[in-house]
Structure 1
Amino acid sequence: MRRSIIALLHVGYWFLYSLLWALIILLVASATRPDNNTPLQTWRFIYFIGAFGIIPAILGFYTFYTWLFPQFLQKGEILALFLVGILAAIGCGVLSAAIMLVMFPDFSFFNDGLNSGGVIVMILTIIAILNGGVGLVVKGFISWYNETKLKETLAQKNFEMELALVKSQINPHFLFNTLNNIDVLIGKDAARASTYLNKLSDIMRFMLYETKTEKIPLSKELAYIEKYVDLQRIRTATPNYVEYVVEGEVHDRLIEPMLFIPLVENAFKHSALREKENAIQIRISIADNQLVFDCTNKYKEGAQHPQDYGGLGITLIQKRLLSLYPKKHQLEISKNGDTYQVKLTLHQSWKSAAL
């Protein structure tokens, strides 16, 4: 928590406490008749009552705030906190009485023997305990807030590291198989092999450089998916193994990078029916304030289903959606027969890319 906020908490508390004590002073003063010749009608007595409430309050508050909280409460030593707190409050009461005796030596309250002095110390101790309790609450709130922010910061850093890992990695099996397929194509159709090699180069460039910003043009994300799908097609002889459709106008809209790609990669990873037509269907529909990503893939009986294989990419997608689109997205993963479906709907006002 920023120091200015902490200082504001302290100032606010002492302002409210001073108002309360001023009200008590006014009530005490008004309870005495004007013709009654007592110290209650003097400013000096008002100063005395003010010091009576303020001095033990400050001593108790900051003794508990600066010492007892970190030494005992923060460590969970409740019994020790209770015992030491009582002793510390008594010490604050005695010290407050000593300070007031120096400030107001002529008041009769201090000249009536031990009984009167004991009552005064007890009242001062109670004031110190009450304000010390408030000190513990204030310090506890500040500590809780700082720990919460620290946990959020660490979680965010961990999330960013995981995301960076996803962005930087290319599935080694995909890369190995793609290079093998291109190698085979070189002897049959060199021009086509060169085209696929360029697509692979574009994918690697995208993974290494384009995903470093918070947002990228939607067109680049879709272009990556298209090239990825094309490279997957060369791994099967089935012409309509994959169906990839984009509906709507892309224009210059922006989107967070790597939002759909992990879902696409998982669809290929868990679709073992390369000889079947339309084994994987990817459809992206773009409207003014909504984008729908719909991906289905066929699978063999006994294969993992989406609820099981939710690996690093799926987990991060869910975390990112909660962070980037709170209450503005729906992620649905379902199983219907031999088909798995992942449907992601985003509700947002599209931002245009900078020119």
Structure 2
Amino acid sequence: MKKSVVYIVHTAFWVLYFLLLLLIIAAATKGFSSNIPFGYIAKVGFSFVVIPSVITFYLCYFYLFTKYIKTKKIVSSLVYAILFSVGSALVGGLFLSLLFGLDMMFKGGISSFLAQLFSMVLIGLLAGVMSIIINGFITWYDEIKLKEELIIKNHQIELALVKAQLDPHFLFNTINNIDALILKDPKIASEYLNKLSDILRFMLFETKAQRIDLSKEIEYIEKYIALQKTRTANESFVHFTLNGNLSNQVIPPMLLISFIENAFKHTANKKIENAITISLNIDDKTIVFECENKYNPKNKIQIEHSGIGNNLIRKRIELLYPQKHNLSIINLNNSYRVTLTLIND
């Protein structure tokens, strides 16, 4: 909690505390209409109430709570709380004696002294309990904020891992395919090499931004698909459609590619048509992404894809689009379909 807020909490407590004290004094003196001088009331109140309260409050706040209560040393906490209250009561009694003489504390004998001292001890204990409650609330709040910050930091690390993710099998196979094309068709090999270079450049530079133009993300996806197609002679293996206006549309980098990577990874039969279908529908307020891939039911496939996993992808989307997205994953009839709807402000 910010120091300014802590100061406000302390100030508010003491304002309310002294207002309550004034009300009690006003009730005892019939609205200050009795013959008791106000200066006398102020001196007695300062010594009898203020001194024990303030001393015990801050001893419990700065020392007792930190050293004993937080470490759950209950017995030691009680002992020290009583000692602090008795000590602050004795200081208050000393002030009363200095202001009004020893008769103020001992005019009724030792029993009067003990009764007044006991009253000041109770007042001090009450203030000490309030200090523990206030410090406990501040500590609880700080721990919640710390946990939230740690969760955010953890998510940020996860996001960095997502952005940095490049399937090593994809990279290995692409380089091998380009190597095989160099002798067969150097021109096409050069085109594919440029696409791979563009993908690596995109990952190095574009992913540092929180948001990029949707058009750049789509360029990355198209080049990725083109490189994946080098692994099969089936031109209809992948079907990608784009509908809508890309102008002024932005998106977090590499948000969609993870689903596409998983689709390629789990589609074994590359000879069938439209084994993978990808569509992107865009309007002014929403981006609807769909990716569906067919797979062989004999191959083991989990609803949670391997690799970075859908849990991590979900976390990233939830962090970037809180309450502004809908993610649907359906695994049915040998088909795995992902539908992601993003709502833009």
Q: Name the TM-score class by shorter chain.
A: over 0.9
> Which piece of structure 1 moves more, 235-244 or 212-221?
235-244
Q: Could you say which residue in structure 2 is the equivalent of 1:267?
A: 263
- Unmatched runs of 5 consecutive residues or more in structure 1: 350-355
Task: Please state how far the C-alpha of 1:342 moved relative to its aligned partner.
Answer: 1.2
* 1:344 match: 340
SS at structure 1 position matched to 2:274: coil
CA-to-aligned-CA distance 1:298-337 (integer Å, 9 cap, x gap): 1222545453336535333222222222211111111111
Q: Is the 8 A contact 2:26 2:32 kept in 1?
A: no
Tell me, in whole angstroms, the C-alpha distance in 2 between the residues paired with 1:18 and 1:273.
Answer: 80
Alignment partner, residue 353 of structure 1: none
Tell me which residue corresponds to 1:283: 279
Distance 1:202 1:308 in 2: 30
1:79 to 63, 75, 78: 75
1:172 alignment partner, one of 162, 168, 178: 168
Match of 1:207 in 2: 203
Structure 2 counterpart of 1:315, from 311, 315, 333: 311
Write the mapping of 1:101-140 to structure 2, written as runs, cut at 5 A. Answer: 101-105=97-101, 108-140=104-136
Q: Structure 2: which amino acid aligns with 1:224?
A: Y
2:3 equivalent to 1:3:
yes
Structure 2 residue runs of 5 or longer lacking an equivalent are: none
Residues in 2 aligned to 1:33 and 1:197: alpha-carbon distance in whole angstroms: 96
Name the stretch that deviates more: 201-210 or 250-259. 250-259
Q: Cα distance 1:135–1:302, how it changes in 2: closer, same or farther (>3 A)?
A: farther
Aligned partners of 2:244, 2:115: CA distance in 1, in Å?
Answer: 83
| Identity score, percent | 41
Please tell me the residue identity of whatever aligns with 1:324: L
- Please say if 1:295 is aligned against 2:291: yes
1:240 equivalenced with 2:231 (yes/no): no
The one-letter code sitting in structure 1 at the alignment partner of 2:20 is L
Distance 1:240 1:103, change over 3 A: farther
Residues 270 and 304, structure 1, Cα contact 8 Å, conserved in 2: no
Tell me: CA distance 1:315–1:269, structure 2 relative to 1, closer, same or farther (3 Å): same
CA distance in 2, matches of 1:57, 1:255: 57
Equivalent-residue separation in structure 1 for 2:301 and 2:133 (angstroms): 49
Using the alignment, how far apart are the partners of 2:38 and 2:18 within structure 1? 20
In structure 2, give the amino acid aligned to 1:26. Answer: A
Query: Would you say how many aligned residue pairs link Structure 1 and Structure 2?
Result: 345
- The Cα of 1:61 is off from its aligned counterpart by 1.2
Q: CA RMSD in A?
A: 2.1
TM-score when scaled to structure 1?
A: 0.90
Q: 1:250 aligns with which of 246, 250, 262?
A: 246
CA distances 1:9-52 after superposition (whole Å, capped 9, x unpaired): 11111111111111111111117874xx5xx3443124312442
CA contact (8 A) 1:25 1:50 kept: no
Which one of the candidate residues 135, 146, 149 is aligned to 1:150? Answer: 146
1:59 aligned partner, one-letter code: I
Q: Of 200, 213, 216, which residue of structure 2 is paired with 1:217?
A: 213
**2:185 is the alignment partner of 1:198:** no
Distance of aligned partners of 1:311 and 1:133 in 2 relative to their CA distance in 1, 3 Å threshold: farther
The whole-number CA distance in structure 1 between the counterparts of 2:95 and 2:154 is 53
Residue type at the aligned position of 1:5? V
TM-score with structure 2 length normalisation?
A: 0.93
Query: Which of the residues 47, 56, 65 maps onto 2:61?
Result: 65
In 2 relative to 1, CA 29–50 (structure 1 residues): closer, same or farther, beyond 3 Å? farther
Letter of the aligned partner of 1:337 in structure 2?
N
